[in-house]
């Protein structure tokens, strides 16, 4: 992504070609191939499990699990699910890609290095083209807030400007994480520069319990930051001192992308994770007086992706 350009106002965007990668599922430990393909114009984002022949829309109302990742599924089909969708969804949303089909031959998106940066690279290699039909945004009209019993909360409020502004704080007392906060206006450039390379993380004391529960089977220091009290166990250390909160904001972008449209509003939260992010989307979209459809303004300094003729 070298260079910058404006996207046309109100036009949908789709991949120009297909591209694939192979990696390990963070929780399943399975070797999985992901193929990113152009979606049908107006169809939105969907995941297709080639191994079991099912297609799952990338929508908030198809979220079936939020334990340590966001997983999508189909009603009445326990086997029809796709886990760890948040990082690739964040990359698609940041680059304003509306229509894409993501094919998988296993139960989750490969974790790759634990961040969204590899997905940005793949998407830039595939390129994008203008699609057909209008591109609409969800404009937040009044504050909507959700919280849990432990003091964590998340909120979407109106934004006088047609963007998604996001602010998040986290707190892990007694660890190398500590208290961190970060804010940004979400554009392709700010996502690439501030969030994309922030990796998922966990506490060393939780690893054994996670694996006993069938989770984190494919995790390791090559695809996650592991914190042991005041220590970061990864040989290379952190990519940024506040990599932890930046990754949590990356997750917010990916989880909110499951609205199916860009969001114009102000997100704020404290210790918000996948569960609260999904609850917030459900609460917003269930309250028809809290939002409306609007035509999005062009983002400033959107990173240009190679233009190709669609296959």
Q: Which residues are catalytic?
A: 274
In 114-177, DSSP assigns E strands to 128-134, 137-140, 144-147, 153-157, 164-172
Residue 287 to residues 61, 81, 102, 181, 291: CA-CA distances in angstroms?
Answer: 14, 27, 30, 29, 7
Report the residue count for the chain: 311
**Distance separating alpha carbons of residues 260 and 230, to the nearest angstrom:** 39
DSSP string, 161-220: SSSEEEEEEEEETTSSSEEEEEEEE--HHHIIIIITTPPPEEEHHHHHHHHHTT--TT--
């Amino acid at each position: 992504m070298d260079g910058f350009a404006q996207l046309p106002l109100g036009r949908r965007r789709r991949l120009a070609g297909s591209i694939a990668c192979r990696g390990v599922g963070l929780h399943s430990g399975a070797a999985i191939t992901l193929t990113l393909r152009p979606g049908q114009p107006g169809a939105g984002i969907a995941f297709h499990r080639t191994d079991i022949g099912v297609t799952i829309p990338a929508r908030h109302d198809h979220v079936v699990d939020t334990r340590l990742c966001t997983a999508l599924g189909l009603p009445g089909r326990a086997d029809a699910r796709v886990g760890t969708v948040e990082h690739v969804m964040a990359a698609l949303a940041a680059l304003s890609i509306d229509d894409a089909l993501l094919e998988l031959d296993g139960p989750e998106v490969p974790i790759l290095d634990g961040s969204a940066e590899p997905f940005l690279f793949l998407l830039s290699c595939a390129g994008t083209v203008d699609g057909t039909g209008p591109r609409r945004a969800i404009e937040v009209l009044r504050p909507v807030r959700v919280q849990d019993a432990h003091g964590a909360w998340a909120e979407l409020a109106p934004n006088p400007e047609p963007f998604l502004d996001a602010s998040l704080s986290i707190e892990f007392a007694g660890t190398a994480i500590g208290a961190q906060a970060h804010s940004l206006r979400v554009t392709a450039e700010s996502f690439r520069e501030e969030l994309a390379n922030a990796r998922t993380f966990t506490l060393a004391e939780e690893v054994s319990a996670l694996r006993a529960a069938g989770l984190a089977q494919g995790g390791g220091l090559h695809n996650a930051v592991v914190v042991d009290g005041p220590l970061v166990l990864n040989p290379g250390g952190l990519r940024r001192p506040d990599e932890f909160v930046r990754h949590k904001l990356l997750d917010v972008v990916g989880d909110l992308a499951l609205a199916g449209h860009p969001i114009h509003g102000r997100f704020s939260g404290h210790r918000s994770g996948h569960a609260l992010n999904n609850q917030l989307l459900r609460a917003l979209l269930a309250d028809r007086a809290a939002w409306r459809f609007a035509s999005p303004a062009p983002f400033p300094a959107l990173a240009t992706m190679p233009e190709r003729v669609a296959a």
